[in-house]
Every structure is written in structure tokens, then in C-alpha cells.
Amino acid sequence: MSERLVNMLSTEEIAARVRDLGAQITKDYKDKNLVLVVVLKGSFVFASDLCRAIDLPLRIDFLGVRSYGEGTESSGVVQITHDLSKPIANEDVIIVEDIVDTGLTIAHLMDLFRTRNPRSVKVCALLHKPARARVSVGIDYLGFTIEDKFVVGYGLDFAERYRNIPYIGVVERS
């Protein structure tokens, strides 16, 4: 069986959208204590481009999560495998996610973070698949809405492969 990647979003399309998101966040967080919380591993490529598109002093922290689910479906039960390095009390947090699919992971993280008394918590996601939403989550900064396909590249994996592909694609088997 052979595999090929079909392009869904090009490197150029992603770069332009990430620049826009960065400009919007720069406007909105001028007088705030911005902390970008990068949800590992899938968001690391998006976050590294996004943080360089934000022209503000900011802090970056990382959160490792493991989602227990069946197959490719998330269950919403999220285990923290690597916690933040510092408290977020009184800070303005943006959670940076690669993709919001069922919404269960981000809903869980929002609940968790609110117990830590930040001044505000918002969500920035590169991709959203509304067709599979199980809970409604507000995405404050969104890159692209996509159809219900399993995507890889730009940090997103399939069994740990494809994270280094510089665009978003769909794996096709023949």
C-alpha cells in the first residue's frame, strides 16, 4: 500500500493567515501580560511562527497533554504530561492549539486554567473542524475552518510522522 499527501493548505496560505492572527493579537494585547500556552506536541510549529508575528513582549510556556480516546476520536479525558513552568495568576493567557476537532480537549483545558486565576484565557487555533464538534468552544483567533478530514503537516502528525511537512495535507492511501 502506498501513501501520498494531498495539499489542503499551502505554506504561503498558512504564512499569510498566521501573520494576520499575529497582527490582531498584537492590537488586542497591547497593555496586557500576554502568555502564550503552547499545547504540545502538535502546536509547536504554528506557535513558533505565531509568536514571531506578535510584536509585543510576551512569555511562552508549554503544556504537554495526552488525550485518551478510541482510535482518532478524543474522549475529552486529558492527562497533563508536562505542566506549565510558572503560575498564570493575573496573566492574560492565549492557549495555542493546532486543531479543535471535537472541542473536548480545549474545553477541559479552559476549565483547568480557570482554576489557576489568570486575568483572562482565550483560544487561538490554527484549524477547526466544526463537523465533529461535541461541545461548543469559543475560538477567539482562528486560522482556517476545514472539512472533516484527518490532516497532517505543519506540526500535526499521523503516528508521529509528517510533523515536519511545511504545509497541511491529507494522507491518501492506494
Q: Using the rule CB under 6 A, is 45 a contact of ligand 5GP?
A: no
| Of 12-20, 25-33, 48-56, 155-163: span binding ligand 5GP (CB under 6 A) | 155-163
Question: What is the nearest approach in angstroms of ligand 5GP to the Cβ of residue 75?
Answer: 8
Q: Using the rule CB under 6 A, is 42 a contact of ligand 5GP?
A: yes
Q: Which helix (H) or strand (E) holds 126?
A: strand 120-128
**What's the rounded Cα separation, in Å, for the pair 141 and 109?**
16
Task: Show contacts with ligand 5GP in window 77-136 (CB under 6 A).
Answer: 97-105
Determine whether 55 is an active site residue.
Answer: no
Question: What is the nearest approach in angstroms of ligand 5GP to the Cβ of residue 148?
Answer: 9
Q: Provide the greatest CA pair distance for the chain.
A: 54
Interface with ligand 5GP: number of residues (CB under 6 A): 18
**What's the rounded Cα separation, in Å, for the pair 111 and 109?**
5
Which residue in the set 37, 152, 165, 168 belongs to the binding site for ligand 5GP (CB under 6 A)? 152
**What's the rounded Cα separation, in Å, for the pair 83 and 158?**
24
Catalytic annotation, pick one of 98, 101, 140, 148: 101
Which residue in the set 58, 59, 157, 171 belongs to the binding site for ligand 5GP (CB under 6 A)? 157
**What's the rounded Cα separation, in Å, for the pair 91 and 37?**
11
**What's the rounded Cα separation, in Å, for the pair 169 and 10?**
8
Q: Which residues are catalytic?
A: 101
